Structure 1
Amino acid sequence: MLSFLPQSWRRAEPEADICLIAEGCYPYVAGGVSSWIDWLIRSQPDLTFSVLSIQPTFPTTKPHYARPENLRAIHHVCLDSKEMGRRHAWPAMSPHWFAQTLGSIFQGGDMEAFKALLTRLGPPNHRAKLETLLDSPQAWEALLAGYQQMPQTAFLSYFWAWRTLAGGLLRMLLAPLPSARLYHSVSTGYAGLLAARAAIDTGRPTIITEHGIYSNERRIEILMADWINNSIDKGFDFSDDRQDIRDFWADAFENFARIAYGSAEEIIALYSENNVFQSALGADKAKLSVVPNGVDLARFENLPARQDERPTLAFIGRLTPIKDIQTFIDVAEQLVTRVRRLRVLIIGPMDEDPEYAESCIHAVRKRGLENIVTFTGQVDVRSLMSEIDVLMLTSISEALPLVILEAGAAGIPCIATDVGACRELLGCPNRPARNMQFGEGGIVSPVGDVGVLTEAAALLLNDKDMRDNMGQALRKKVRRRYRSETIAGRYRAIYDRHLQSQLTAMEV
């Protein structure tokens, strides 16, 4: 296995064809987006890639993925890094202008303000130092000026929100940028800001592939976060438009998305409904396209022989709150009296949110389900596919889950909450699920509805003919519409189109 060795920013290296910009995932965190990046690089063997990996801190764990031959380098931008920029002097801008400009970015997604800030910070390789921009008296003045727009919030909460958001934004503007012919971000958020900065600094084309709508997922996490304390009691007065600290956080990520969309040449969603969300956030409809996930069908043929004949329900995915494993465990508890000799597998990495993973383990113990529910940790999914009768996803948010495609390739029917493209994948009616919805490849349930999810699982686990029919129908659909080689060809066409347009522009 080739290792991922951190590359020195000062070492000259050949220009990559494509620089992928990824936040909080590849190559250190396993999951759907990371697996997709690994697949994408390998699917384009005659193109060279680099990866700009945005991480909370410098990685100390080994990569989860072997290095593809055509991946030239992996670079890191760490959200706790303090050593960025070169010039110690405060840039040519007043603290008041700095505060106003940050406000225009955080609260308005103002592309012109974003460009102006880049200009004031200086040339790409000689910008102001991060510590000057965050820790100087001028920075304190800018923070206080910004707080005047939200005086009703607790100052301490505003202070840390401002420091985090401004620090993240500035790190994206100051981080060294590897040279590439095209920049491809796999989300908005900080990755999208870095792509927008790349477009402005280099003049090279940028594209975005959003697996989920990043700003929506961050809003869900912010609403669920117990470390954010609101200061305003609005009660049931929905006309009260005062911005509180949760609004400040969530709105900032929405407006980061507006800037990312504004700079991109093409904005790709995994399914058409997400184009609607992107358009609502200001994306130009002429830039929108849809390219779904694909699956390697051959990988799910000739699976290992089954070792355990007990009826088996499985979850596959990261153990994080947005996957709502607690609801899955609630369903498992209800099924004990409904399905004889039940076995339940929770398959997936547990290191992204260890506290949440531990709470799931505790919930299983508290219910006395240790002999029924098994946490496998991260494993090769293929090795367990033949052991699974029904796959269940209880997610609060999804896009087009790769795991449903993989289950379909293996002929396994699925039960999923009505999020993202799950309804479309399973062939359910094109209307929101208010109860159990049957499709050709499985069943869809309202989000968080333990009763409906339990009924659906009991029905499928106790009816082999229904399982087989749905599994085969899903397999046929996946074979027809989601072959990885077809999807790889579509990405190659996208890359060729934008790289060619760049060459044409240079010739002119």
Structure 2
Amino acid sequence: MPANAPERIADVCLIAEGCYPYVAGGVSTWIDWLIRSHPELTFSVLAILPSAPTSEPRYARPDNLLSIDHVRLDDNNMGTTHDWPAATPEYAGELIGHLLTDGDTRQLSELMKLLGPPGKRVALDTLLNSPEAWQTMCYHYGSMAHASFLGYFWAWRTLVGGLFRVLTCPLPQARIYHAVSTGYAGLIGARAAIETGRRTLITEHGIYSNERRIEILMADWISNSIDNGLDLSDDRKDIRELWARSFESFARVAYNSATEIVALYEANQTFQLALGAGPEKLSVIPNGVDSERFGKIKPVSHDRPTIAFIGRVTPIKDVQTFIDVAERLRRGFPDLQALIIGPMDEDPEYAQSCISEVNRRQLADTVSFTGPVNVVDYLGRIDVLVLTSISEALPLVILEAGAAGVPCIATDVGACREILEGMAHDGEPIGPGGMVAPVGANDEIATAIGLLLADRQRLRTYGDNLQRRVRKHYRAEAVAEAYGALYGRNFAPQPQMVS
């Protein structure tokens, strides 16, 4: 390309938080698939990261991916103007406070005006470290004065710092913007809609605000400073609630700005509607799988009954439950093999706790960690896939296993039940492809797995049923067509340069 040639404008800018291309997992794999499934389109990726990437991309770059840009949530060098915006700290605090609790696009638009036009944004250092920034923060703290100020200070720095970063970062030029979640990705999508007039789409694999609420409740680094006891009428706000409500508010902003909002299954639309998504914007496009490729996987003869967890070794996947279930099963199946297949670098502390738990229970001859591998090489050796997650959407790994004829036992989260048991409007019933159990119901999970391992005919029947259901409802070709149609009806006639 000549030195003075204009930069190519992508057809679609995908906005991804904490996943592609540096973190392997279901959403990252979906993004890679989406780009490759549409060679007629060009893409760019805006990757939101907690810090500078410490590893090489996990995915080979598709030919139609023009660029990968980064937004680092620890980057303090954004913006150019060092004057405080033309607003009092009280007004700025009130505006930001609304965005953290009940935000909508009008408040986001007003905040963007205060931050200045593209290329002349207020510097992040001014927004976080100036005397006016301190006054703004203290003004908002007045609505939470019962909460720990120290906890509030760091929550504010993180939440508002992230908000300012996504509003001041360079925005790639594209014909359309497609956020792969709400959260900070959804905020950038909302910003793009306001700043460029382009249409913004959202695909939610899981409901971001729900998943963050679960993580916040599990977090041991957030301490409550208010003892509500049993008084349900006590509406004083504490730090955990500030975190949770902020992500719900960000979702409202994203939904209000989006032209169309895609869920992976119908039940998630209930959560989207509850957070203000317009029903006319909603549609369902499930995950899809290359059923022909996975259907070619044949069972490999193996001597030991084998179960496997496939996924990221993180707390929300509850790998500790899988380890406990393996110990329970070993009492009835002494030669059991339990594989934990997937990357272990996203939460090294949790991964190490899982390894320690295996050693503490003396399960090293039963439970093994493979790290990241090509699941195609393993599915033929697995009798039962086991998913113990606390939260899921529509797990790609169940579809891949099902396409290979491997039945699954899963927790009753997300779309696991409808994948394994079918939907009410399925038409001709296919039969179960596995079983579901409540989250944390280790006895029930172990019992369900044991029923399949002890009855090879049921094992094969469930695997065949799941394979038929995946081929009928979750074909990658149909999903690609649906996204092609989604893009086609939302493209603007001609791309315009973003100033």
> Are the aligned partners of 1:52 and 1:75 in contact in 2 as well (CA < 8 Å)?
yes
Partners of 1:349 and 1:145 in 2: CA distance: 43
Q: Deviations over 1:242-275 (max 9, x none)?
A: 1111000000000000000000000000000001
- Which residue identity does 2:108 align to in structure 1? F
Q: Which residue of 1 aligns with 2:455?
A: 463
Q: Which residue of 2 aligns with 1:452?
A: 444
The verdict on how the C-alpha distance between 1:76 and 1:429 changes in structure 2, with shifts beyond 3 A counting, is: closer
Q: 1:353 aligns with which of 319, 325, 347?
A: 347
Q: CA deviation at 1:297?
A: 1.5
Aligned residues: 489
Partners of 1:407 and 1:217 in 2: CA distance: 24
> Are the aligned partners of 2:9 and 2:495 in contact in 1 as well (CA < 8 Å)?
no
Q: CA deviation at 1:12?
A: 5.3
Partners of 1:355 and 1:487 in 2: CA distance: 37
Q: 1:87 aligns with which of 54, 68, 81?
A: 81
Q: Which residue of 1 aligns with 2:281?
A: 287
Q: CA deviation at 1:309?
A: 2.6
Partners of 2:422 and 2:484 in 1: CA distance: 31
Q: Which residue of 2 aligns with 1:434?
A: none
Q: CA deviation at 1:339?
A: 1.7
* Helix, strand or coil at the partner of 1:22: strand
Q: Deviations over 1:109-142 (max 9, x none)?
A: 2321111000111111211110011110000000
Q: Which residue of 2 aligns with 1:435?
A: none
* Helix, strand or coil at the partner of 2:68: strand
Q: CA deviation at 1:439?
A: 5.9
Q: CA deviation at 1:11?
A: 10
After the TM superposition, which residues 120-131 of structure 1 pair with which residues of structure 2 at under 5 Å, given as runs? Answer: 120-131=114-125
Q: Which residue of 2 aligns with 1:214?
A: 208
1:256 matched to 2:250: yes
> Are the aligned partners of 2:179 and 2:203 in contact in 1 as well (CA < 8 Å)?
yes
Partners of 1:305 and 1:311 in 2: CA distance: 13
Q: Which residue of 2 aligns with 1:433?
A: none
Q: CA deviation at 1:505?
A: 12
* Helix, strand or coil at the partner of 1:376: strand
Identical columns (%)? 60
* Helix, strand or coil at the partner of 1:156: helix
* Helix, strand or coil at the partner of 2:304: coil
Q: 2:302 aligns with which of 285, 300, 308?
A: 308
Partners of 2:133 and 2:78 in 1: CA distance: 16
> Are the aligned partners of 1:105 and 1:111 in contact in 2 as well (CA < 8 Å)?
no
After the TM superposition, which residues 115-154 of structure 1 pair with which residues of structure 2 at under 5 Å, given as runs? Answer: 115-154=109-148
Partners of 1:124 and 1:466 in 2: CA distance: 61
Q: 1:325 aligns with which of 319, 323, 330?
A: 319
> Are the aligned partners of 1:428 and 1:444 in contact in 2 as well (CA < 8 Å)?
no
Partners of 1:246 and 1:259 in 2: CA distance: 20
- Which residue identity does 1:421 align to in structure 2? A
Partners of 1:181 and 1:317 in 2: CA distance: 34
> Are the aligned partners of 1:49 and 1:70 in contact in 2 as well (CA < 8 Å)?
yes
- Which residue identity does 1:354 align to in structure 2? P
* Helix, strand or coil at the partner of 1:148: helix
The verdict on how the C-alpha distance between 1:116 and 1:478 changes in structure 2, with shifts beyond 3 A counting, is: same
Q: Deviations over 1:125-174 (max 9, x none)?
A: 21111001111000000011011111111110000000100000000100
The verdict on how the C-alpha distance between 1:461 and 1:305 changes in structure 2, with shifts beyond 3 A counting, is: closer
Runs of 4+ aligned structure 1 residues displaced above 3 Å come to: 502-506
Partners of 2:266 and 2:495 in 1: CA distance: 30
Partners of 2:281 and 2:350 in 1: CA distance: 38
Partners of 2:84 and 2:364 in 1: CA distance: 59
After the TM superposition, which residues 202-281 of structure 1 pair with which residues of structure 2 at under 5 Å, given as runs? Answer: 202-281=196-275
* Helix, strand or coil at the partner of 2:143: coil
After the TM superposition, which residues 403-482 of structure 1 pair with which residues of structure 2 at under 5 Å, given as runs? Answer: 403-427=397-421, 440-482=432-474
Moved more, 259-268 or 439-448: 439-448
> Are the aligned partners of 2:46 and 2:70 in contact in 1 as well (CA < 8 Å)?
yes
* Helix, strand or coil at the partner of 1:498: coil
Partners of 1:439 and 1:456 in 2: CA distance: 16
Q: CA deviation at 1:86?
A: 1.0
After the TM superposition, which residues 2-41 of structure 1 pair with which residues of structure 2 at under 5 Å, given as runs? Answer: 13-41=7-35
TM-score, L = length of structure 1: 0.94
Partners of 2:321 and 2:144 in 1: CA distance: 37
> Are the aligned partners of 1:304 and 1:383 in contact in 2 as well (CA < 8 Å)?
no
> Are the aligned partners of 1:89 and 1:128 in contact in 2 as well (CA < 8 Å)?
yes
Q: CA deviation at 1:58?
A: 1.1
Q: Which residue of 1 aligns with 2:480?
A: 488
Q: Which residue of 2 aligns with 1:366?
A: 360
Moved more, 23-32 or 419-428: 419-428
Partners of 2:290 and 2:218 in 1: CA distance: 36
TM-score, L = length of structure 2: 0.96
* Helix, strand or coil at the partner of 2:332: coil
- Which residue identity does 1:494 align to in structure 2? L
Partners of 2:454 and 2:298 in 1: CA distance: 23
Q: CA deviation at 1:427?
A: 1.1
Partners of 1:505 and 1:287 in 2: CA distance: 25
> Are the aligned partners of 2:310 and 2:397 in contact in 1 as well (CA < 8 Å)?
yes
- Which residue identity does 2:218 align to in structure 1? M
Partners of 1:69 and 1:256 in 2: CA distance: 33
> Are the aligned partners of 2:296 and 2:404 in contact in 1 as well (CA < 8 Å)?
no
Q: 1:389 aligns with which of 362, 383, 392?
A: 383
CA RMSD of aligned residues (A): 1.8
Q: CA deviation at 1:429?
A: 8.0
Q: Which residue of 2 aligns with 1:7?
A: none
* Helix, strand or coil at the partner of 1:331: helix
Q: Deviations over 1:427-469 (max 9, x none)?
A: 1687xxxxxxx96110010110011001001111111100100
Partners of 1:254 and 1:439 in 2: CA distance: 38
Partners of 1:481 and 1:322 in 2: CA distance: 27
- Which residue identity does 2:374 align to in structure 1? D
Partners of 2:407 and 2:96 in 1: CA distance: 49
5+ residue gaps, structure 2, are: 425-429
Partners of 1:302 and 1:492 in 2: CA distance: 27
Q: Which residue of 1 aligns with 2:169?
A: 175
The verdict on how the C-alpha distance between 1:305 and 1:285 changes in structure 2, with shifts beyond 3 A counting, is: closer
- Which residue identity does 1:103 align to in structure 2? G
> Are the aligned partners of 2:327 and 2:363 in contact in 1 as well (CA < 8 Å)?
yes
Partners of 1:383 and 1:11 in 2: CA distance: 45
Q: Which residue of 2 aligns with 1:6?
A: none
* Helix, strand or coil at the partner of 1:82: coil
